[in-house]
Structure 1
Amino acid sequence: MTEPSNPQPLEQLSAIDQLPGDLMMWVLIISELLVFGAGLAAFLAVRITDPIGFAEAQDHLFRAGAGLNTLVLVTSGFLAALAVRAAHVGLIWRTRALLAGASALGVVFLVIKGMEYAAKFAQGIGTETHPFFTFYYLLTGFHAAHVVFGILILAVVGYRCTPRTVEVGAAFWHMVDLVWVLLFPVIYLLR
């Protein structure tokens, strides 16, 4: 006969055991942050070689749209955090509504980003125009792909609405937010 295990008090759990959600999602999040960090480091390293060219290229960006997108994603992350709280108290429909709101704002982000890309293409600005735009499209496009993937994760999490799945989905979504909060000032504002 086995003895029932006693749950450990929170202060006795390791840091890994205290992470919300799933360990493998955290492995994915950390690996993605490292990839984005390497991309930003490469961007900054190349920028040093041509600061005037990078500043001139940066003048073609739509900073107001990027600022609006920052507000959209931060608000979306707030809704995801509220969804986690709602899931923990068993408010399934509220959790789903908050996740749907977070996802809808993710779509708004993609629409604004798509409009920005369309404007650049209409001006004849592509990846070959200048190294700045090579990095711009690479980093923001990779981020946009993560937004699409995050929206899909939130949809699945909304369907399988448990506190653990909502935590996992929200953790990924917060990574998407964090990456944009780092990309925005480096690409759009840093002179």
Structure 2
Amino acid sequence: MSAVDCEVEPDGWGAFDGLPGDPMMWVLIGSELVAFGLLLGAFAVTRAVNPALFASGQAALDAPLAGLNTIVLVTSGWAAARGTAAARAARPGLSRRFLWLAMALGAAFIAIKLTEYRSEIAGGAVLESSPFFTLYFLLTGFHLLHVALGIIILAVICRHAQPVHVETATAFWHMVDLVWIVMFPMLYLVR
């Protein structure tokens, strides 16, 4: 009996069965969304307790630069979605090109965010400056790590661009987009 003969088909993943990609990625995405949700909840509660402190912290941020970064990241999500469509259409070369575009835009997001950090730190904003900046750096730093991880995941699956792997990686990438779309107005715009 070979190893292939010993493989057992799972009974299914229930609610996860209809989702694209590997169901375990969705388990990871769910846990990451909980973690981001808790951090965003802490941010909202702390802002409600001390709105003046948070207003002054937000005034020190570069909202136009963060807006540009939002456009960059959403465009990278579009490129990843196009890469998924190309992989499903059995066009691995086109899929890889879109995935490389998504990765390049992800790298641009990181570069822009690091530029923003440098400006904020030069202005005296550090992790210990205030509760606003503690939560701001924790949230955006945690997100930045996810962008970097997303680029690595896309790079790993890019070589063969098999549909299920592209779907799995793109699901993670879209989670990173979604979190930023929620974070951006909370951190930079809502007063």
Q: What is the TM-score of this pair, normalised by structure 1? A: 0.92
The letter of the residue matching 1:117 is Y
Which residue is equivalent to 1:120? Answer: 120
Give the Å deviation of 1:14. 5.3
Q: State yes or no: 1:166 paired with 2:166.
A: yes
In 2, distance between residues paired with 1:45 and 1:172? 27
Where does 1:42-57 land on structure 2 (aligned, <5 Å)? 42-57=42-57
Q: 1:90 and 2:90 equivalent? A: yes
Q: Following TM superposition, by how much is the alpha carbon of 1:138 offset from its aligned partner in structure 2, in angstroms? A: 0.2
Aligned with 1:39: secondary structure?
helix
Aligned position for 1:70: 70
- Aligned-residue offset at 1:15: 3.7
CA-to-aligned-CA distance 1:63-90 (integer Å, 9 cap, x gap): 0011011111111001101111100111
> Where does residue 180 of structure 1 map in the other structure?
180
Partner of 1:102: 102
Distance 1:117 1:137 in 2: 9
* SS state at 1:129 partner: coil
Amino acid at match of 1:118: R
- Matched to 1:56, the amino acid is S
One-letter amino acid of the counterpart of residue 96, structure 2: R
Residue 9 of structure 1 aligns with which residue? none
Give the counterpart letter for 2:38 in structure 1.
A
Hey, which bits of structure 1, 4+ residues long, moved more than 6 A? none
Cα drift, residue 160 of structure 1? 3.0
Whether the 8 Å contact between 2:76 and 2:103 is mirrored in structure 1 is yes
Distance in 2, matches of 1:130 and 1:16, equals 41
In 2, the alpha carbon distance for the partners of 1:16 and 1:112 equals 35
Identity across the alignment (%): 51
Normalising by structure 2, report the TM-score: 0.92
Letter in 2 for 1:115: T
Distance 1:159 1:26 in 2: 22
Letter in structure 2 aligned against 1:167: E
Counterpart of 2:131?
131
Aligned residues: 179
Contact kept, 8 Å, 2:92 with 2:160, in 1: the verdict is no
Secondary structure in 1 aligned to 2:90?
Answer: coil
> Secondary structure at 1:18's aligned position in 2?
coil
Between the aligned partners of 1:83 and 1:152, the Cα distance in structure 2 is 16
Instruction: Provide the C-alpha distance between the structure 1 equivalents of 2:145 and 2:49, rounded to a whole number of angstroms.
Output: 29
Residue 16 (structure 1) aligns with: 16
Question: Residues 32-43 of structure 1: matches in 2 within 5 Å?
Answer: 32-43=32-43
Residue 154 (structure 2) pairs with residue 154 (structure 1): yes
The residue aligned with 2:7 is none
Q: CA deviation at 1:57?
A: 1.0
